[in-house]
Each structure stands twice: as C-alpha cells, then as structure tokens.
Structure 1
Amino acid sequence: MDNDARLSDELASVISGARRRAVRDGDRQIDTAHLLHSLLESEPQARAVFGEGPQIARLLGYLVQRSIGYGLRWQSGVEDSGAVPTVAGTAGFSPLAAASLECACRRAAVRGEQARGTDLLAAIVVDPQARAVEVLTRAGIDPHEVFARLDGWSGLPEECGEGTC
C-alpha cells in the first residue's frame, strides 16, 4: 500500500514506519497498534488529536514498552475482530489493519482527497477489537472521544461503522 495513489505522502510514510516497526519487533503482521504508534510518531495532525498531558505520555509509554518487548504483546495471534471483511492486496497487514486502511481511503474519497493520518486514526478507533483501541483504553483514553475530536468530519462513510469498517 506504500505506493497507493489514494494515500497522501504523509500516510504512506506512516505505513512504511509501521512496517519497519513490525519487522524490528519480530511481529508477523502490521497491526493497528503499529499504525497508531507510527501515526503518533510522524503525523502531527493525528498526534494533535490527543493534546498534551499525562494521557499522551502514558499512551506513548505503552507503545514503546510493546516495541521493546515489555507490557502489551500480541505476537502469538492475528489481529482480527471477525467483524471485518478480508481485504485483498494488503499482504503483511492484520485483517483489521488492512480494513482500517481501506476505510481511511473511503473516508478521504468522500471528500475527493487522498487519505491522511487523521482518516486512518478515525478508522482504527472504531473497532473495539483493534489492538490500538486496547492500548488507548489501557492508557486511559476513550476511543470514542478520540473519534469525536477529529475535527471537520461528520463520521465514517456508511459502510464503516463500529466493528464493520
């Protein structure tokens, strides 16, 4: 998906960063937690959604712990809520991460634009089975509030709903 014309250059960079993180961590697939970590690391607009303060520090702490082998680890399984359809052509992504990327592209298409980091953030926080949602919850951040903070959108396209994107 790095060369997908539907993605902004910034989002393609986020995906490349998530891929590097997954490989470095020895994970079999890029999951939504890898995507969240990469978004926070390299996408200022996505990071701004979380504001400043102890919650963002705690969130980054959980993500860093995971990447160095402590805390939350999911190497033993595939991230899949069972509610999302399998997406073809996205080898290397968990089924849920692949569906989130597709949803981000549909979000942007509604506006006639390329998908941005905030589109992906909105897509990954709507499925309660997403590893990114688990990390957010453990850090004391309500994923629904994150979605509500995303400025300028009325919501996901109809085909993208909680657990169905």
Structure 2
Amino acid sequence: MQDRIPHQQAAERGRTGLDVEVRLSAELAAVVVGARRRALRDGDRQIDTAHLLHTLLESDPDVREAFDSGPQLARLLGYLVQRSIGYGLRWQNSVEDSGAVPTLTGGEWSPVAAGALAAAYVRATRRGDRLAEGVDLLAALVTEPESRAVEVLTRAGVDARELLVRLDGAAERGIGA
C-alpha cells in the first residue's frame, strides 16, 4: 500500500507544485505538458488522472508494455478517446477527488493527480533514481482506487491491482521501472 503523505502534501501545495514537476524525466515532463493540453482542449477545470493516463499511453512505450496484450491496450485507448470526445462529459467541470484529501478550487491539478505525481517521484527515489519515469507515474495512478484513471482501466477490462503487481515485479527485477 502506498503512503498517503506525498498525496496529502501535494494537495496542500495547491497547484501541484513545480517542485514535483522538476523531478520528472524529460519524457515524463512531456507527458505532463500533453496532459495539460488535453485538459485545456477538453474544457476540463483541472488535469486529472485520466488525462495523465491517456498521455502516458500515447507517448511512453514502457508504459504500453506494462499491459497484457494489444487488444487490452486497444480497448483502453478506445475508451480514453471516447472520453476525450464527449463520453466523459459527466466529469467536465468537476474536480477529481478521492475523498482522501480536501478538494481544491481553482487549482491546475486534481488532488489525486497531484498526489500521483508526488508518489511517482517517491517511487523513483526508492529505487535510487533522481527523476520519475512514466512507469512510476502509471504505478502511482493505479494505487488510488477511486481515481478516474482506475475507473478508465476497469471499464477497459484492466485489473489495476494486477497491473500494479506486474509493475512492482518489473521494478524489483530492474526492468522498465
């Protein structure tokens, strides 16, 4: 189980501090930029975990390799595309909040997404890296059962707990994470 402290600290900083963002690899920083662009284009108030998941899947081959099969990945991307073109409108103009931390108003990041970015960095440092990678963020996204990313994964037929076990096993073996 992941420690809730990074999640709480990120939420307390409000806009998710630039301090977390500077601890990301160049590839993961590009994912953050892509997620911002996606949220703006979709008309969402905040960048949420589904924006991060969508951009991760599109841009990071190590993240795509974490999934069981091509068909599973295709279903997942299909669901995310549907969401971005209107299927997920029930999420528009709302804040992603797991209930674990107070909801922020006017922030750039949802509290859950902010916590995931912080947790990705913690995961990277635990394995001795100074910068978080895409698989670190993917692992952080799937640890929050009430996140939009986990909801998307579940609807696409991906078992988030099984995915996390696979990511943790790869990290222990020094593969991809």
| TM-score normalised according to structure 1 size | 0.84
| Structure 2, gaps ≥5 residues long | 1-17
Q: Distance in 2 between matches of 1:110 and 1:71?
A: 35
Identity fraction in percent: 66
Residues 37, 63 of structure 1: 8 Å contact kept: yes
Residue 68 of structure 1 pairs with residue 68 of structure 2: no
Q: Which is bigger in relative contact order (C-alpha 8 A, separation at least 6)? A: 2
Task: Tell me the SS of whatever aligns to 1:102.
Answer: helix
Look up the SS of the partner of 1:59 in the other structure.
Answer: helix
Partner of 2:91, secondary structure, is coil
Question: Structure 1 residues 84 and 120 mapped into 2: Cα distance closer, same or farther (>3 Å)?
Answer: farther
Structure with bigger helix share is 2
Partner residue of 2:97?
A: 80
Distance 2:114 2:146 in 1: 14
The alignment of Structure 1 onto Structure 2 pairs a total of residues equal to 151
Which of these residues, 83, 96, 101, is aligned with residue 117 of structure 2? Answer: 101
Corresponding residue SS for 1:69: helix
Aligned 8 A contact 2:39 2:45 in 1? yes
Kindly tell me: are residues 11 and 125 of structure 1, through their superposed partners in 2, closer, same or farther at Cα, counting changes over 3 Å?
same
1:135 to 152, 162, 168: 152
**TM-score, normalised on structure 2?**
0.78
- The one-letter code matched in structure 2 to 1:20 is R
Q: Residue 152 in 1 paired to residue 168 in 2?
A: no
- Once superposed, what is the RMSD of the aligned Cα atoms? 2.2
Query: Which of 112, 119, 142 is residue 128 of structure 2 equivalent to?
Result: 112
